[in-house]
């Protein structure tokens, strides 16, 4: 499974847009990119998933360049409640049941 690299931590302020970039240089052709969010004392929560170009939902956008060697999770106008750990994962679309989590990015949103 492809290894991911993402910043250990990031700081932001309420109302700002936050972009968290994840590197996955050895991503395979059949790998998807998925982001999870985890609050303290809770299990991870699915945010968004994509294969290429751009995906947007009510929570975030995911930008994937053509070479797919990186991806960027974009959180528009963050609030204090977006303070959490964000995990970038890649894994194959065909019958893969193991999610491989790294250490994630700890986002701190300040007032």
Partner 1 sequence: GAGVSQTPSNKVTEKGKYVELRCDPISGHTALYWYRQSLGQGPEFLIYFQGTGAADDSGLPNDRFFAVRPEGSVSTLKIQRTERGDSAVYLCASSFGGNANTGELFFGEGSRLTVL
The footprint of partner 1 (CB under 8 A) covers 31-32, 34, 41-46, 49, 87, 89-104
Residue 40 C-beta: closest distance to partner 1, Å: 11
Least Å distance, CB 39 to partner 1, is: 10
- Choice between 26 and 96, CB closer to partner 1: 96
CA separation for the pair 18, 15 (Å, rounded): 9
User: Which is nearer to partner 1, 78 or 91 (by Cβ)?
Assistant: 91
Smallest separation, CB 71 to partner 1 (Å): 14
Asked whether the beta carbons of 12 and 107 are under 8 A apart, the reply is yes
Residue 14 or 99: the one with the smaller Cβ distance to partner 1 is 99
Per the listing, tokens 């985890």 go with: 38
């Amino acid at each position: 499974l492809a290894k991911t690299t993402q910043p250990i931590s990031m700081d932001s302020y309420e109302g700002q847009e936050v972009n968290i970039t994840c590197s996955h240089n050895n991503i395979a052709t059949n790998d998807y990119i998925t982001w999870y969010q985890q609050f303290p004392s809770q299990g991870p929560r699915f945010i968004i998933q994509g294969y290429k170009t751009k995906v947007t939902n009510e929570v975030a956008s995911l930008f994937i360049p053509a070479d797919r060697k990186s991806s960027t999770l974009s959180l528009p106008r963050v609030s204090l409640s977006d303070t959490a750990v964000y995990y970038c994962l890649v894994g194959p679309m065909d019958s893969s049941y193991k999610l491989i989590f790294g250490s994630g990015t700890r986002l701190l949103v300040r007032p």
